[in-house]
Each structure stands twice: as C-alpha cells, then as structure tokens.
C-alpha cells in the first residue's frame, strides 16, 4: 500500500521559499513517512536562460539551517556531478539521480559510496528492465544500499509522456521502492500544447497511486506555482495538499484488505 511521500518544491529557489514550503507541509506530513524535496541546482533546464536555483554552496547552508531547526526532518535532493555527492552526504538523507543521468556509472557509484538510500529517476526513454543495470552498479558498490526507482512516464512521440501502470509489479521485482512521479509525468511540449504540464492531472496521479500499488508518491508542490523558477505548470498548489491527503487516506482506507485476483 502506498504510504511513502517525497514532497516539496522543484527548486530551493531561495531560503525564504524553501523554509516557507517546509512550514506549509510540516503540519500535514510530520506524522507520515515523508522526505522534504528540493533541488539546489536545476542543471538540466531546457533553456540556458532557465532559472537554476541558488547552487550547492549556498544551499548547503540552507540545508544545515533547516536540519538544525527541524531535527526530525529528512531531506532529499538530486546531484548532477560525482564531486557533489560527498559534499551533501552529511546533511542529506536520500540522494536522487535525475532521469537524464540515470545510467551515469561514475555518478551512481559515487552515490552508493556515500548513501544508504538512493532514488533513481527512470529516464523516459528506458523500459522497466533497462535500468536494472543501474541497480547492479549500486549493489556492486554498496550491497546494503536501498535502491528506489521513480517512474515519470515514457516518451510518447516527441511531445508528451505516458505512464504505463502495468509495469509497477515488474519494477517491484528489482527495486526496494517503486514511486510515481505525479508532477513530471504530466510534462509535455510547451510549443505544441501551450503548457509544460497539467497540475490537475498530477493530483489524479497522486490519488491513484494506492490503486496501482505504488510504494510511494513523488510530487512537487509550490506556494505559488506560476512564479516557480522551474516546472511551474506541473507543480501542485501547496494549499491543495491537505485536501489531497484527506482524499488519499479515504481511498487507501477503501482499498484496505483488497486483494487482486486473476480474472479469467
């Protein structure tokens, strides 16, 4: 049953936004299995002019301040280069490997050296079995590491993504946790569709996760999505999270005790 959450803004953006996001989520999430997410650098933006965030050096100070003020908070962030991994190891609880880097051997190995939990975002061009080699890279370096896979959909042509819910059980054979990326899974070409994503669809993915047996939910949320430096069209409005959690709990309760059967 889905009972695990990675929630937070796409980018730290700045200290004020990061801490305000934490304060908004904490009352609803502190009794749940939750990791607070934000990126210190959006290094894979489409445009060279796209906002990237405050960078590693400044973000380390922010991470440490948040940890000091919130001793029980657990943080997750992504890395793009091997040299960054050791620098965040003392303050970040789970390291995340971006989808575009999910096969980068040196990066994966370095993460396995310093982290007990690694979340690999599945590239949208890869099938469910193609990323098992990344698990091998982790296990060969750190046999005790916990490896998560976050599904963000598969490329459907050049302009949009589709989520194949049929692969969840297959992914579970290889990974310790299988997570649905509710927000990035809605991404599409702005030039073709006029928008980068659909946050209302992200909410539907959020609510459907228990039905399709995902172990966890990854969802980016923002206090004011239109003002976000990245992925503004995809991020869920922060004020919607309490209601989503309430409905999520209702759906999970309805599914309690349900067992799938093979219909013939």
Is the per-residue pLDDT at 127 higher than 80? no
How many C-alpha atoms does 201 have within 13 Å on its Cβ side? 17
pTM of the model: 0.92
Is the per-residue pLDDT at 90 higher than 80? yes
pLDDT attached to residue 47: 65
Task: Choose between 126 and 203: higher pLDDT.
Answer: 203
212 to 77, 245, 251, 258: CA distances (angstroms) = 26, 17, 12, 12
Residue 68 pLDDT level (bands cut at 50, 70, 90): very high
Pull the structure tokens for residue 100.
């575009």
In this structure, the dihedral spanned by the alpha carbons of residues 145, 178, 18 and 25, taken in order and rounded to 10 degrees, is -120
Cross-strand pairs, 150: 121, 179
Is the per-residue pLDDT at 157 higher than 80? no
How far apart are alpha carbons 181 and 97 in whole angstroms? 13
Task: Choose between 20 and 134: higher pLDDT.
Answer: 20
Residue 47: how many other CB atoms lie within 10 Å? 6
Residue 165 pLDDT level (bands cut at 50, 70, 90): confident
Element (H, E) at 204: helix 199-208
Pull the structure tokens for residue 125.
């061009």
pLDDT attached to residue 192: 44
CATH for 4-255? 3.20.20.70
Residue 154 pLDDT level (bands cut at 50, 70, 90): confident
Task: Choose between 66 and 153: higher pLDDT.
Answer: 66
Identify the DSSP state of 239. Answer: G
Average predicted confidence (pLDDT) for the chain: 89
122-149 mean pLDDT? 88
Q: Work out the percent of the chain whose per-residue pLDDT is above 90.
A: 66
| Domain locations in the chain as residue ranges | 4-255
pLDDT attached to residue 46: 64
Q: What is the pLDDT of residues 173-216, one digit of tens each?
A: 889 999 999 998 886 655 544 446 688 999 999 999 999 999 99
Q: What is the pLDDT of residues 15-40, one digit of tens each?
A: 999 999 999 999 999 899 999 999 99
């Amino acid at each position: 049953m889905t009972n695990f959450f990675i929630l937070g803004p796409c980018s730290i953006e700045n200290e004020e936004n990061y801490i305000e996001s934490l304060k908004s989520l904490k009352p609803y999430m502190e009794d749940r299995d939750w990791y607070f997410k934000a990126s210190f650098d959006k290094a894979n933006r489409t445009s060279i002019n796209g906002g990237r965030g405050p960078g590693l050096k400044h973000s380390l100070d922010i991470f440490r301040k948040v940890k000091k003020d919130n001793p029980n908070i657990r943080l997750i962030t992504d890395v793009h280069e091997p040299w960054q991994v050791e620098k965040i190891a003392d303050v970040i609880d789970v390291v995340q490997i971006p989808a575009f880097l999910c096969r980068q051997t040196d990066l994966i190995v370095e993460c396995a050296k310093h982290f007990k939990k690694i979340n690999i975002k599945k590239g949208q061009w890869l099938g469910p079995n193609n990323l098992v080699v990344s698990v091998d890279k982790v296990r060969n370096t750190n046999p005790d590491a916990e490896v998560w896979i976050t599904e963000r959909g598969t490329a459907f042509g050049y302009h949009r993504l589709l989520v194949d819910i049929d692969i969840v059980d297959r992914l579970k054979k290889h990974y310790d946790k299988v997570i649905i990326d509710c927000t990035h899974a809605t991404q599409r070409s702005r030039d073709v569709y006029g928008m980068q994503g659909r946050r209302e669809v992200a909410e539907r993915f959020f609510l459907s996760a228990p039905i399709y047996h995902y172990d966890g939910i990854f969802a980016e949320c923002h206090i004011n999505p239109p003002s976000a430096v990245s992925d503004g069209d995809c991020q869920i409005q922060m004020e919607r999270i309490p209601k989503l959690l309430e409905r999520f709990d209702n759906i999970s309760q309805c599914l309690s005790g349900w067992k799938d059967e093979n219909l013939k």
